[in-house]
């Protein structure tokens, strides 16, 4: 039976790829007006379905909070579309008269888009919008545990696209999901680029195909709270951000690094916001509950409310508890709770001074979130800039929620649900991936200056050689002697 599912999935990947390629050849010639009309219709349809899709995602995966999933769907439909709406993706997109260069947009082709179970419908909406805006076709390969809600999100957008003039097959989602089928999709000859959002194994598989791939690594986001911070705001934001959709966004805070002089007060304020600080015995129970001996996260604890996790761990917490905070001393393999935790458990460190806090943050990033994100709460601009300059991450959110700031809801970075971790994190880009990343640019360049004279020389690459009179005489004598020899 497993083999039958694999065969169905492989054949579906082949069929969808061929159909998408045929549709793309038509779509590649669409006008900017046609592209924008289709994208606007898809964004509107997805926004209207945001609540229903959020409910479906929650019911199918068991992760997160319905209201938060609705917000993520609305963000993917509205904010993403608004951020790319004015971007030109057809024909000449820029002209530099001084340099006599025309930039011409050129689509990549068929996009294979791998989507996660933690943010299934919102990621589908976002990826379809940025691909179709770039004149690409797209095939979604959903996580098996979120296949139904992902398919529904793609179907809503495909229907809206076709009703507004897009060719059938331009947008598709696999229904028969298996590892073999996903691998067939990624390696298919008609697939031009891979857009992978999910766990480390998925991203590695995408990069191993030999195709261009945008893959993002894990986030192990530190939240540094400086002595100059607005502590009430920091406590409110960190607690709300960590509990947002039960911590299923990879940019969520994973550990607080509190400046020692304000640590006790910050702790007090976070308790008022619904944080529960565990004792050592309770912390040990959470280590065993959340992680397997090899460091992998126990799937059944992903995206669960704090009260639910406390019950599983045998911890008695007050009603209204939103986050379980575990005081820690170490970072690394010997401390499982210093890893990324896609659930409502937050690490807690105390360091004296921003320099020590800086080092602790780097330690956390190097252990599991290289290139991803960091959030800092401070008002001292010198400290803020030091963190911006020194941290090996590509998003440093300041005085905001890491969750919503890194994806571009509360900051000015590009709205995105695929956050590049750059070369340091094994990714091709450190950007928030958007439509710019899914088309190439040709350059039509006119002559600015004539070629140098040397370019026209017949013997431009060699040294001129002078032959001496003695050498000429020697050659002549040799030839004459050869003739005389032949006569005799």
pLDDT (tens digit, 9 = 90+) per residue, 46-78? 999 999 999 999 999 999 999 999 999 999 999
177 and 294 part of one domain: no
* Angle (nearest 5°) at CA 34 between 18 and 85: 105
Residue 3 predicted with pLDDT over 70? no
Q: What per-residue string of b and e applies to 4-37 under the rule 16 or more CB within 10 Å gives b? A: eebebbbebbbebbebbbbbbeebeebebeebbb
Tens-place pLDDT, residues 79-106: 999 999 999 999 999 999 999 999 999 9
What average pLDDT does range 249-255 have in this prediction? 95
pLDDT, position 8: 94
The answer to whether residues 388 and 405 touch, using CB atoms and an 8 Å cutoff, is: no
pLDDT band, very low/low/confident/very high, at 191 (cuts 50, 70, 90):
very high
pLDDT at res. 198: 72
Residues 70 and 138 in one domain: yes
Residue 240 placed within a domain: yes
Residues 93 and 32: their CA atoms lie apart, in Å, by: 11
For residue 231, what is the domain's CATH number? 3.40.309.10
Assign 335 a pLDDT band (cuts: 50, 70, 90): very high
In terms of domains, do 385 and 361 share one?
yes
Residue 428 lies in a domain: no
Q: Do 247 and 326 fall into the same domain?
A: yes
Q: Is residue 21 part of a domain?
A: yes
Q: Is 246 a catalytic residue?
A: no
- Pair 236, 108 in one domain: no
C-alpha dihedral, 212 to 105 to 85 to 157, nearest 10°: -50
* Residue 484 maps to a domain: no
Same domain, 181 and 288: no
Question: Which pairing describes strands 439-445 and 101-107: parallel, antiparallel, or unpaired?
Answer: antiparallel
How confident is the model at residue 298, as a pLDDT? Answer: 95
In a domain, 176, yes or no: yes
Give residue 422's region: left, alpha or beta (phi > 0; psi -120 to 50).
left
Domain tally, the chain: 2
Residues 365 and 277 in one domain: yes
Angle at CA of residue 413, ends 412 and 414, nearest 5°:
115
Share the mean pLDDT of the chain: 93
Inter-residue contact 397 to 361 (CB < 8 Å): no
Q: Look up the domain containing 404 and give its range.
A: 221-408
pLDDT in tens, 423-476: 888 888 999 999 999 999 999 999 999 999 888 987 645 555 566 778 777 877
CATH number of the domain within which 144 lies: 3.40.605.10
> Which of residues 205 and 302 earns the better pLDDT score?
302
Residues 49 and 130 in one domain: yes
Please check whether residues 191 and 261 belong to one and the same domain.
no
pLDDT, tens digit (0-9, with 9 covering 90-100), for 175-188: 999 999 999 999 99
Record the pTM.
Answer: 0.90
CB 173 within 8 A of CB 151: yes
In a domain, 174, yes or no: yes
Query: Does some domain include residue 472?
Result: no
Q: Minimal CA–CA distance to 150: which of 215, 214, 76, 207?
A: 76
418 occurs within a structural domain: no
Do 24 and 59 reside in the same domain of the chain? yes
Given phi > 0 = left and psi -120 to 50 = alpha, else beta, which region is 463?
beta
- Residue 142 vs residues 57, 173, 302, 428: alpha-carbon distances, Å: 12, 7, 18, 22
More confidently predicted of 387 and 475 = 387
Whether residues 184 and 272 fall in one domain: no
What confidence tens digit (pLDDT) does each residue in 123-160 have? 999 999 999 999 999 999 999 999 999 999 999 999 99
- For residues 354 and 244, state if they share a domain: yes
Closest CA to 392 of 414, 363, 415, 419: 363
Q: Would you say 118 and 247 are in contact if contact means Cβ atoms under 8 Å apart?
A: no
pLDDT at 389: 93
Q: Is the pLDDT of residue 393 over 80?
A: yes
The residue from 39, 250, 358, 361 that is catalytic is 250
What the block records as the tokens of 240 is 């709300």
pLDDT for the residue 1: 47
């Amino acid at each position: 039976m497993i083999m039958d599912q694999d065969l169905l999935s492989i054949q579906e990947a082949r069929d969808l790829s061929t159909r998408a390629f045929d549709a793309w050849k038509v779509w590649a010639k669409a006008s900017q007006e046609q592209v924008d009309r289709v994208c606007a219709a898809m964004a509107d349809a997805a926004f209207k379905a945001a609540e229903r899709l959020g409910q479906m995602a929650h019911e199918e995966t068991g992760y997160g909070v319905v209201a938060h999933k609705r917000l993520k769907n609305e963000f993917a439909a509205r904010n993403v579309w608004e951020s790319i709406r004015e971007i030109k993706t057809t024909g000449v997109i820029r002209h530099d008269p001084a340099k006599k260069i025309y930039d011409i947009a050129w689509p990549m082709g068929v996009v294979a888009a791998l989507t996660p179970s933690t943010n299934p419908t919102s990621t589908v909406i976002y990826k379809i919008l940025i691909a179709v805006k770039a004149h690409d076709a797209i095939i979604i390969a959903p996580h098996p545990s979120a296949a139904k809600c992902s398919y529904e999100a793609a179907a809503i957008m495909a229907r809206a696209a076709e009703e507004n003039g897009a060719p059938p097959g331009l947008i598709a989602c696999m229904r028969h999901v298996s590892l073999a089928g996903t691998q067939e999709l990624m390696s298919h000859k008609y697939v031009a680029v891979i857009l992978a959002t999910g766990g480390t194994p998925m991203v590695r598989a995408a990069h191993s195909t030999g195709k261009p791939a945008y893959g993002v690594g894990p986030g192990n986001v530190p939240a540094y709270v400086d002595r100059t911070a607005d502590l009430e705001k920091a406590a409110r934001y960190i607690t709300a951000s960590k509990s947002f959709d039960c911590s299923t966004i990879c940019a969520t805070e994973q550990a607080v690094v509190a400046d020692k002089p304000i640590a006790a007060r910050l702790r007090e304020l976070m308790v008022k916001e619904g944080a529960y600080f565990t004792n050592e015995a309770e912390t040990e129970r959470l280590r065993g509950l959340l992680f397997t001996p090899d460091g992998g996260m126990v799937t059944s604890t992903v995206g669960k409310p704090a009260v639910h996790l406390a019950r599983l761990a045998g911890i008695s917490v007050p009603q209204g508890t939103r986050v379980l905070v575990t005081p820690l001393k170490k970072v690394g393999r010997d401390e499982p709770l210093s890893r990324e935790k896609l659930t409502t458990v937050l690490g807690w460190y105390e360091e004296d001074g921003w320099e020590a806090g800086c080092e602790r943050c780097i330690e956390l990033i190097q252990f599991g979130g290289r290139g991803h994100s960091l959030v800092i709460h401070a008002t001292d601009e010198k400290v803020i800039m030091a963190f911006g300059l020194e941290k090996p991450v590509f998003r440093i959110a300041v005085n905001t929620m890491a969750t919503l700031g890194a994806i571009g809801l509360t900051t000015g970075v590009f709205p995105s649900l695929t956050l590049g971790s750059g070369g340091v994190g094994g990714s091709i880009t450190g950007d928030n991936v958007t439509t710019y990343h899914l088309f190439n640019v040709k350059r039509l360049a006119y002559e600015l200056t004539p070629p140098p004279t040397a370019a026209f020389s017949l013997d431009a690459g060699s040294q001129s050689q002078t032959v001496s009179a003695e050498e000429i005489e020697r050659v002549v004598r040799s030839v004459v002697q050869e003739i005389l020899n032949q006569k005799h």
